[in-house]
């Protein structure tokens, strides 16, 4: 068990609570219960806003679950640990992650998967696995968790399998963005698409995840990286991440997959879809070259979406793959991604476009909804 002075006690702290879909978050004083078996209570120092938070906050095409504390991209310090936790202790620097690694199931023991049987993402669950209850409350009213992390709170409780211990010298206000979007896009390219040197890669969606995918394609040595986005203003920014050409589907009177096939003599070698749009997913699959093309789906679709393509597209030896968190195992792999940043092999600063204090968290939502924010860092102590 933990030896911190607050171990075993309820902590009262500030949290940004979403009471209704699409309504501004409200700064509340919440009670955060102590961690139970195999749980860790974290003091969050920095968090950032990811498009997935927006998606489930708006609850358009997703199951609404309120009141809720969102947030899943963050960096913090272990405050206390529950029974059975042996590899973390108070004071450790960590990144909470929305996908976990129990290290015991077949997925965790496989080199090919990070889809832990116990801790795979569940966006509809708002409680802890241990007892089916929330660790957050206001005057006795439970407040739901979000993807097991809920980092829009000064303190949060997370399953130990969803906590990656990292180098304490790493600046948490930078590496916090690795706990979701940047690792997701980077890994989608490096671990899943695996473009060869000199190949052609199409990236659908030039938000932070898509730009991280472009960065991964650039690191892999792709010769052409084609960015597809409905916002033409994103192309100049995308050049910093290796994007060489830009296609806006609105500029063409034919499906964008046909445009890309014409540009690349039959199709791209690899495509990476980072929008969540079902139409973009279909285009990403149909734009890859027959015989060897691989499409990687990263975006989160609406719950009622259905993927439709002609079976000949598959029979013609195109491959479609999906990925959560870029196929990184959070506890095993994320520390090494942090070291890539520490060794200057990976730039994170160019993904960070804004910074606000915790009390101004709704500004982060405004920036992203306007489309002019990649990542906004939220300082919990400001």
> Residue 311 maps to which CATH number?
3.40.50.720
CA 250 to chain centre: 27
Report d(CA 307, CA 354) in Å as an integer.
35
Q: How far is CA 327 from CA 113, 189, 217, 298, in A?
A: 7, 10, 16, 11
Beta-carbon-side half-sphere exposure of residue 288 (alpha carbons within 13 Å): 31
Cis preceding-peptide flag for 67 (omega within 30 of 0): yes
User: E strand or H helix at 174, and its extent?
Assistant: helix 172-175
Q: Assess whether 142 and 260 both reside in one domain.
A: no
Is the model more confident about 151 or about 123? Answer: 151
- 189 and 172 in a single domain? The answer is no
Whether residue 130 is contained in a domain is answered as yes
Q: 299 and 199 share a domain?
A: yes
Same-domain check for residues 164 and 250: no
CB neighbour class for 101 (10 Å; exposed up to 12, middle 13-18, buried from 19): buried
Tell me: do 157 and 100 sit in the same domain.
Answer: yes
Dump pLDDT digits (tens) for 321-380. Answer: 999 999 999 999 999 999 999 999 999 999 999 999 999 999 999 999 988 789 999 999
Return left, alpha or beta for 12; rule: phi > 0 is left, psi -120 to 50 is alpha, else beta. Answer: beta
**Number of separate domains in the chain:** 2
User: Does any domain span residue 309?
Assistant: yes
pLDDT greater than 80 at residue 206: yes
Give 228-242 pLDDT, tens digit per residue. 999 998 999 999 999
Clarify whether residues 165 and 243 are in a common domain.
Answer: no
Residue 334 included in any domain? no
Note the pTM of the prediction, 2 decimals. 0.93
335 in a structural domain: no
Residue 101 maps to a domain: yes
Q: In terms of residue numbers, what domain contains 60? A: 11-179+348-379
Strand 245-247 and strand 136-138: the pairing is unpaired
Whether residue 118 is found in the same domain as residue 131: yes
Residue that has been written with the tokens 């909470």 in this structure: 96
In the listed set 324, 340, 366, which residue is the last one of a domain according to the structure? 324
Q: Are residues 238 and 195 in the same domain?
A: yes
CA dist list (Å): 101 to 164, 321, 352: 9, 21, 27
Beta bridge partners of residue 26, listed in sequence order: 17
Phi first, then psi: give them for residue 22, nearest 5 degrees. Answer: 75, 0
Q: Is the dihedral of CA 373, 375, 380, 382 positive or negative?
A: negative
Whether residues 215 and 249 share a domain: the answer is yes
Q: Which residues contact 92 (CB under 8 A, 6 or more apart)?
A: 77, 78, 165, 168
Q: Based on the fold, state whether residues 30 and 155 are members of the same structural domain.
A: yes
Q: Write down the pLDDT at residue 3.
A: 57
Grade residue 302 by pLDDT with cuts at 50, 70 and 90. confident
């Amino acid at each position: 068990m933990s030896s911190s002075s607050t171990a075993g006690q309820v902590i009262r702290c500030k949290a940004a609570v979403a009471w209704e879909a699409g309504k501004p978050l409200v700064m509340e004083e919440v009670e955060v219960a102590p961690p139970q078996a195999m749980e860790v209570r974290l003091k969050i120092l920095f968090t950032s806003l990811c498009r997935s938070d927006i998606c489930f906050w708006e609850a358009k095409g997703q199951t609404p679950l309120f009141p809720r504390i969102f947030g899943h991209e963050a960096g913090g310090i272990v405050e206390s640990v529950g029974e059975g936790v042996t590899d973390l202790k108070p004071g450790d620097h960590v990144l909470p992650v929305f996908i976990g690694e129990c290290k015991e199931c077949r997925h965790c023991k496989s080199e090919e998967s990070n889809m832990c049987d116990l801790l795979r993402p569940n966006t509809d669950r708002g409680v802890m696995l241990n007892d089916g209850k929330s660790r957050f409350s206001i005057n006795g009213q439970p407040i739901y968790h979000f993807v097991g992390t809920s980092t829009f709170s000064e303190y949060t409780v997370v399953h130990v399998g969803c906590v990656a211990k990292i180098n304490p010298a790493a600046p948490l206000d930078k590496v916090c963005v690795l706990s979701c979007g940047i690792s997701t896009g980077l890994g989608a390219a490096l671990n899943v698409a695996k473009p060869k040197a000199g190949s052609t890669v199409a990236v659908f969606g030039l938000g932070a995840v898509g730009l991280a995918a472009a960065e991964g394609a650039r690191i892999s040595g792709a010769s052409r990286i084609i960015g597809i986005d409905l916002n033409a203003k994103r192309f100049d920014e995308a050049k910093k991440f290796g994007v060489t050409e830009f296609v806006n589907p609105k500029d063409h009177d034919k499906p964008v997959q046909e445009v890309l096939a014409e540009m690349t003599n039959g199709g791209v070698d690899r495509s990476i879809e980072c929008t969540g749009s079902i139409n973009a997913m279909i285009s990403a699959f149909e734009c890859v070259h027959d015989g060897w093309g691989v499409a990687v789906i990263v975006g989160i679709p609406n719950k009622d979406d259905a993927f439709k393509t002609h079976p000949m597209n598959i029979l013609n030896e195109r491959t479609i793959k999906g990925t959560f968190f870029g196929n990184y195992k959070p506890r095993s792999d994320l520390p090494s991604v942090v070291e890539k940043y520490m060794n200057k092999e990976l730039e994170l600063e160019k993904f960070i476009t804004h910074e606000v204090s915790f009390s101004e968290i709704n500004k982060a939502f405004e920036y992203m909804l306007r489309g002019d924010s990649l990542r906004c860092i939220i300082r919990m102590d400001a």
